[in-house]
Structures are given as C-alpha cells and as structure tokens.
A = this chain, B = another copy of it.
C-alpha cells in the first residue's frame, strides 16, 4: 500500500488508511500493481505516482485498475495500442481527455483485459470485484476463485454484464 507520504490517508469514506511505503521509496519491482480510482479531478495524478507507474509498469506482470484508475494509467503510455474501460459516469469525459492517445475505450464491459492479459481495467468501483474474480480465476484457476467467492458470498457478474453503459447513454 503505497502513497505520496507515510501520513494517514483520509479517504472519501471509510476509516483512515496507513501506507506501508512511499512511491519514491518503493525500489523493488512489484509483480502485480493495483491502481484504485475515485474522484481525481482532471485525471492528473501526482508526479511521484506517475514516476512510480512509469518505472514499474514495463516489468510488472500485471497492472489492474478500478474505476478512474485507468484514467491515471492512460497518461503513462502503458495503455497505448490497448483496450480498456473505466467508470461509466466519467466515460465521455475520460474518452475526450485522452482522444489524442491510441487507447480503445470499451463502453459496454464490466471489465476489460488486454490481449496479453497484462493490463486489466474495470468500470466503477464495485466492478472491481468482478475484475478481481476474473483475475483470480486467470491466475489460480476456477477452484480458488469459486472458494473465495463462496466465503465472501459474492454474486459474480460477467465481463459483459454491464447495464451502466446503456444507463449512461454509451451504447
């Protein structure tokens, strides 16, 4: 759990969180990186986060994004030539903001994986759970994914089960 500083993070809701390391201090290469989203104004994240993603991205095995996390990722170049999705209420804003980048934004999708399965992006935050299920199934196979969903009592929605694209006039 990384952040700009080691100060407690005050989220929009929920308890304060304590980061383990700062972006600048994280020197080891991570295998899997998860970028959460949220309300991020103009989609421009702090330099230390962007530098971290540019430094780690090429050799990370997998990068997962939730909600507007793909908006952050878009300006690193790591999504160039690839497919991705994002929060559906922010979809048009993000598509317009990144119109000069070679990114294929998919409107009707609960989540999207790139062809090489390196980058996985989800729609709005709860879609992140469906992405996590699909990613876990990809990494571990059906058994552990189903066992996790069973204990969490998670009713899994599939890749294409996305009513929010239509609700937001995107399809």
* A contact set with B: CB distance below 8 Å: 1, 8, 14-20, 87-89, 123-127, 129, 150-155, 157, 161-164, 167
Q: Measured between C-beta atoms, what is the minimum distance from A164 to chain B in Å? A: 5
Contact assessment for B150 and A126 in the assembled complex, using a CB-CB cutoff below 8 Å? no
Query: Which 6 A-B pairs rank lowest in CB-CB distance, beginning with the nearest?
Result: A124-B153, A1-B15, A16-B18, A126-B154, A15-B17, A153-B164
Known: A125-B153, A126-B152. 13 other contacts (CB 8 A): A15-B19, A16-B18, A87-B151, A87-B153, A124-B153, A125-B152, A126-B129, A126-B154, A126-B155, A150-B164, A153-B162, A155-B161, A155-B163
Q: Is the interface of A mostly helix, strand, loop or mixed?
A: loop
Instruction: Tell me how many chains of this kind the complex includes.
Output: 2
Given contacts A126-B129, A129-B126, are A153 and B17 in contact (CB under 8 A)? no
What is the CA–CA distance of A161 and B150 in the complex, to the nearest angstrom? 14
